[in-house]
Amino acid sequence: MADRTVRITIGGLVQGVGFRYFVYREAQALGLTGYTQNLPTGQVEIVASGDRGLLDEFIKVARVGPRYASVSQLEVEEITPREPFTDFRIR
């Protein structure tokens, strides 16, 4: 069971620059579960579950993003998932 689940909303130049794929690879490397998706607002949403320390590391990486991204906003909200995640997916 995950220690923590967070919803991360990221704004800036984050769509069309490989942000979701970057997040997917980082989440896989850290053993996190959840998903990432583009939002109609131009933001990227990430819901991630895992160890608190690993999530903190993940948030630091997401704040920077991939090479061509420009993150201008990052909000983190701790949530209770409706059901446990079994893997990390791109939606």
Q: Cβ–Cβ contacts within 10 Å for residue 46, how many?
A: 26
How much is the pLDDT for 81? 85
The two structure tokens encoding residue 48? 């991630």
How much is the pLDDT for 2? 60
End-to-end CA distance of the chain: 22
- Tell me the average confidence (pLDDT) per consecutive run of 10 residues in the chain, 91 residues long: 87 97 98 98 97 96 96 97 91 94
- The answer to whether 45 touches 8, Cβ cutoff 8 Å, is yes
Q: Has this prediction a pTM greater than 0.85? A: yes
Cα distance between residue 62 and residue 39, in whole Å: 16
Active site positions, annotated = 20, 38
Domain positions in the chain: 4-81
Q: Which CATH architecture has domain 4-81?
A: 2-Layer Sandwich (3.30)
